[in-house]
């Protein structure tokens, strides 16, 4: 496996998906802004979309791939049987979970958005929309099963391209937003579930080369399957801790008007980088790392871990610097149109600034958790993540009345750095990870390149200051130009000081 190329493949399709997601959100910002309807739709969309991120962005992989890979190494028939037993149980479990939530949706929405309770129209609309979007949870979770099958065979393109379908469907609906008026949120909600079904069909077309569905509900749950589900539950929490923190933030933010929308738009920006710097690397590394752990090849394990961590820092640190330096210009240029006014820009930018401070930690959590998962240990990161979420909740609730929604990204960042540091300490204590002799020299060079890029990016922001004002219609062009020039500067400077070597692209791990 080539780490850089595989991450590049995963990252390429992920960036396409995120760029389409940005276009989708620009259209939502134009038609809905941070209004009553926007808040309600984002809650209805956030719930199943959080589960999508929990399952699709490494959580299911964390429990499934190490066990499936070990079965593949032994014999193909064993891996087929194991996969089929997991699919059947997953199908049944998801079906009844969605059915129960649909039945008790009013109670469920009150738990997820308690701030809506005092407004009967708002809570009723949230119930209606979430009922429509909830089937997406089942479709996308089953899609993650087929994605895990493909990833186990080092096939990353289809799995990373599948989310593009959701954005294409929603963008298609939003192009008619002017004619749909208040009914737009209903059409968008139906679009979410339809896209989930299309994504499931799309992935199965690729996965059936390695696995064919064989629905049987008279099966016995053997020890291997029991072991998988014992790993799955804690991995849902530990691998998806950033998303859980965001969901917690959504619940608390529902008590302040428009706060859910401010957080949503800020979240959309930093997630673009996190998808590559943390999620992509974790997904790509896990199958090969699990194989080396099973075969007990310590030198290979050490090399792959250090390269994964190095690549994660190479991608996340400059992005964090850019978000901190230009948070207001980024939000204004990307979303500051139509109903998205200057107050919305200011509040979303403040949230993005604090999320930016936590971006390297979000990436480290994904990478460090993968090291545990490859050793079939999901309990340790689960307990650490649990403490992290509790810390996030305590900080958010304690300071929310005093400083409002901005405490949510602050608390998320603090708890995430806590999570990342404790994960590292446990890895070292359990002798599951060690730095090689080259890592710290590379890290210092990456830090230097990131700081220099930040200075250059800040210069461009000042140079194009008049072109980046809220009132200027083509401000997005100058932001994209500044970002592109800064990226070229960062890559060139990194190559010059050897923070990154061209030869890394060709290395096999």
- The model's pLDDT over 391-430, given as tens digits with 9 standing for 90+, comes to 988 998 899 888 888 999 999 999 999 999 999 999 999 8
Domain boundaries, the chain: 3-505
Q: Which residues contact 455 (CB under 8 A, 6 or more apart)?
A: none
Between 23-32, 52-61, 92-101, 185-194, the lowest mean confidence (pLDDT) is in 52-61
Task: Give the C-alpha separation, 42 to 110, whole Å.
Answer: 15
Task: Give the C-alpha separation, 22 to 27, whole Å.
Answer: 9
pLDDT at position 85, please? 84
Nearest to 159 by CA among 1, 283, 19: 283
**Residues 114 and 255: beta-carbon distance below 8 Å:** yes
Structure confidence at residue 506 as a pLDDT band (50, 70, 90): low
Q: What's the predicted TM-score (pTM) here?
A: 0.77
Can you tell me the mean pLDDT for 34-52? Answer: 74
Decide which of 437 and 280 is more confident. 437
Structure confidence at residue 53 as a pLDDT band (50, 70, 90): low
What's the chain's length in residues? 509
Residue 156 CB coordination number (10 Å): 26
Between 313-327, 346-360, 462-476, the lowest mean confidence (pLDDT) is in 462-476
Structure confidence at residue 229 as a pLDDT band (50, 70, 90): confident
User: Of the spans 211-220, 231-240, 272-281, which averages the highest pLDDT?
Assistant: 211-220
Structure tokens that stand for 191 in this block: 């679009």
Q: Which residues contact 299 (CB under 8 A, 6 or more apart)?
A: none
pLDDT at residue 352 tops 60:
yes
Structure tokens that stand for 228 in this block: 């998988």
Task: Give the C-alpha separation, 336 to 330, whole Å.
Answer: 9
Between 134-138, 181-185, 452-456, the lowest mean confidence (pLDDT) is in 181-185
pLDDT at position 243, please? 66
**Residues 97 and 51: beta-carbon distance below 8 Å:** no
**Residues 82 and 71: beta-carbon distance below 8 Å:** yes
**Residues 365 and 423: beta-carbon distance below 8 Å:** yes
Q: At what angle do helices 259-274 and 298-335 cross, to 10 degrees?
A: 140
**Residues 285 and 275: beta-carbon distance below 8 Å:** no
């Amino acid at each position: 496996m080539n780490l850089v190329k595989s991450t590049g493949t995963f990252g390429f399709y992920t960036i396409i998906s995120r760029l389409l997601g940005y276009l989708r959100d620009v259209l939502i910002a134009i038609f809905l802004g941070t209004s009553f309807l926007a808040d309600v739709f984002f809650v209805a969309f956030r719930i199943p979309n959080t589960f999508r991120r929990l399952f699709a962005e490494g959580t299911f992989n964390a429990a499934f791939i190490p066990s499936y890979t070990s079965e593949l190494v032994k014999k193909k028939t064993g891996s087929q049987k194991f996969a089929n037993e997991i699919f059947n149980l997953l199908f049944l479990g998801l079906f009844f979970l969605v059915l129960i939530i649909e039945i008790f949706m009013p109670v469920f929405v009150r738990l997820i958005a308690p701030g809506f309770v005092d407004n009967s129209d708002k809570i009723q609309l949230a119930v209606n929309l979430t009922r429509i979007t909830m089937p997406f949870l089942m479709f996308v979770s089953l899609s993650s099963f087929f994605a895990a099958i493909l990833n186990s065979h080092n096939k990353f393109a289809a799995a990373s391209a599948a989310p593009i379908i959701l954005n294409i469907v929603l963008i298609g609906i939003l192009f008619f937003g002017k004619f749909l008026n208040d009914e737009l949120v209903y059409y968008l909600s139906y679009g979410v579930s339809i896209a989930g079904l299309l994504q499931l069909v799309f992935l199965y077309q690729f996965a059936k080369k390695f696995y064919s569905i064989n629905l049987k509900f008279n099966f016995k749950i053997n020890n291997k399957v029991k072991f998988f589900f014992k790993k799955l539950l804690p991995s849902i929490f530990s691998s998806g801790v950033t998303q859980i923190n965001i969901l917690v933030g959504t619940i608390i933010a529902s008590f302040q008007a428009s706060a859910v929308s401010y957080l949503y738009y800020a979240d959309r920006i930093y997630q673009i980088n996190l998808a590559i710097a943390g999620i992509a690397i974790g997904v790509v590394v896990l199958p090969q790392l699990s194989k080396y752990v099973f075969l007990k090849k310590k030198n290979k394990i050490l090399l792959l871990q250090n390269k994964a961590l190095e690549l994660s820092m190479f991608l996340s640190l400059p992005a964090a610097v850019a978000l901190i330096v230009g948070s207001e210009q980024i939000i204004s240029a990307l979303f500051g149109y139509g109903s998205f006014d200057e107050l919305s820009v200011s509040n979303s930018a403040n949230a993005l600034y604090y999320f930016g401070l936590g971006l390297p930690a979000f990436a480290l959590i994904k990478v460090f958790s993968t090291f545990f998962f490859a050793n079939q240990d999901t309990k340790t990161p689960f307990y650490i993540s649990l403490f992290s979420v509790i810390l996030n909740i305590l900080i958010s609730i304690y300071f929310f009345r005093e400083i409002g929604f901005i405490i949510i990204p602050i608390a998320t960042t603090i708890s995430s750095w806590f999570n990342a540091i404790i994960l590292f300490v446990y890895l070292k204590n359990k002798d599951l990870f060690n730095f090689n002799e080259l890592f710290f020299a590379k890290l210092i060079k990456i830090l230097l390149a990131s700081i220099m890029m930040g200075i250059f990016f800040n210069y461009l922001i000042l140079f194009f200051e008049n072109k980046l004002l809220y009132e200027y219609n083509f401000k997005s062009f100058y932001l994209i130009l500044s970002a592109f020039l800064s990226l070229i500067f960062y890559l060139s400077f990194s190559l010059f000081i050897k923070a990154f070597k061209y030869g890394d692209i060709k290395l096999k791990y």
